[in-house]
Amino acid sequence: MSDKRHNRVLFLSVPESLRGQIEGMANDGFSINPDIPLPVEIPEDETNLNLEELSWEMIIAGMLSVITAGPENLDSGQMNAAHWINYYRHFVLAVRPLIMGEFTEAAILKAHNGEFDLALEILDSLRGLFPSSPAVTLNRALVMEERAAALRRRDSAETEDAFQAAQAAYTEALSLHPPFPTAQFNAGFFYLSRKDFRRARECFSLYVDSGEDREKTEQAKSIIKDIDENGLEDESFINAYKFIQQGNEEQGMKNIRDYIEKYPSVWNGWFILGWALRRLGRWEDGAVAFSKAIELGGANSDTRNELAICLMESGDFKSARRELESALRDDPENIKIISNMGVLALKTGNDEEAAAFFRTVLELDPQDPIAHNFFNKEE
């Protein structure tokens, strides 16, 4: 047995008791090389390994740890690292031929439950096993986008960094050769959510040229048409969003007013104007801008939530509640909206109702700071 360790991985020679089992499970032309030791992952609180307790899960986990870390993290002076990585990759696929589907399903489930770090760990293992898989590359981008969106819902200071990481993941997915049309389609929606209509249009145009799904192609064409007709690639619109995002609301307002002069009937411009005004604490002006956005077709949950904040801060609690309830019907698990319902209940003196809303928030996001602050004060 070797004392070579990699994280919590112990390298050891193939035990006699397992040789027959391993050889019996090998398939697809894979053969056991007794000269290459097995990496075995052991629990952090254990210092010794009882070979009688050695399991397939420990062996596969050890191999996946080594594969994920990459050959550069192995001692190449004592081993043929790249050869060993390739051997372990084939070993895992021989023993677990359905691992792609199993791990993909597990990653999706973890992400759905908000366990994004675990989801990405699983996908990193898959990337080690299938380094050229476009599906794995795209799934990483999707999970990173979902993580960024979750942080945005709770107004986390980490939101922008998370979106930048997601953008880097999409950039990688878009650079695949041959091109992966599904990545182009999903990247288009990612850039739409970021109000980067220029890049969104580029991605959807790529999909129109290469995608094979007729329904998605028609959807992409419709989005491109909407961007073109509403001038959403206009420099003044792009700059307005950029400045406001960076905290320069005054400059952003100058740009968005230029855009509104050219496109007065496009709701997006009024939404951006309202966003700047709300951030500046100009509640009544913000409410007017958001109401105009809704009138022109922007009656989505985000616009109604923003309008409700302005109405709430202006003292119009009845109208604020109406907008929040409407937004919640459209997006029933939106933490921002539920939290604002709690804030509104507090402002109207209904602590019991506020507690119910904040309990719901914590069910969706156990780390939400606003809900925690409410219950800490209650104590």
State the pLDDT confidence band at 5, using cuts at 50, 70 and 90.
Answer: very low
DSSP string, 254-321: HHHHHHHHH-TT-HHHHHHHHHHHHHTT-HHHHHHHHHHHHHTT--SHHHHHHHHHHHHHTT-HHHHH
Q: Are 256 and 268 in contact (CB under 8 A)?
A: no
What pLDDT, in 10s, does the model give residues 230-268?
999 999 999 999 999 899 999 999 999 999 999 999 999
State mean pLDDT over 121-141.
Answer: 95
What pLDDT, in 10s, does the model give residues 297-348?
999 999 999 999 999 999 999 999 999 999 999 999 888 999 999 999 999 9
More confident residue, 274 or 81: 274
State the pLDDT confidence band at 34, using cuts at 50, 70 and 90.
Answer: confident
pLDDT at 274: 98
pLDDT at 372: 84
Asked if the model's pLDDT at residue 187 lies above 90, the reply is yes
**Angle at the Cα of 194 (from 271 to 213), degrees rounded to 5?**
115
Q: What is the pTM of this model?
A: 0.81
Q: Which of 20-34, 45-59, 201-215, 332-346 has the lowest mean pLDDT?
A: 20-34
Q: Which of 72-81, 189-198, 206-215 has the lowest mean pLDDT?
A: 72-81
Say which CATH topology domain 235-309+318-325 has. 1.25.40
State the pLDDT confidence band at 22, using cuts at 50, 70 and 90.
Answer: low
For the chain, give the percent of residues with pLDDT over 90: 65
State the pLDDT confidence band at 376, using cuts at 50, 70 and 90.
Answer: confident
Q: To the nearest whole number, what is the mean pLDDT of the chain?
A: 88
Q: Which of 22-26, 84-88, 140-144, 153-157 has the lowest mean pLDDT?
A: 22-26
Q: Where in the chain is the domain with CATH 1.25.40.10?
A: 235-309+318-325
State the pLDDT confidence band at 31, using cuts at 50, 70 and 90.
Answer: confident
More confident residue, 309 or 87: 309
Q: How many CB atoms lie within 10 A of CB 245?
A: 14
Asked if the model's pLDDT at residue 117 lies above 50, the reply is yes
pLDDT at 78: 45
State mean pLDDT over 152-160.
Answer: 82
Residue (of 33, 189, 242, 158) closest to 256 by Cα position: 242
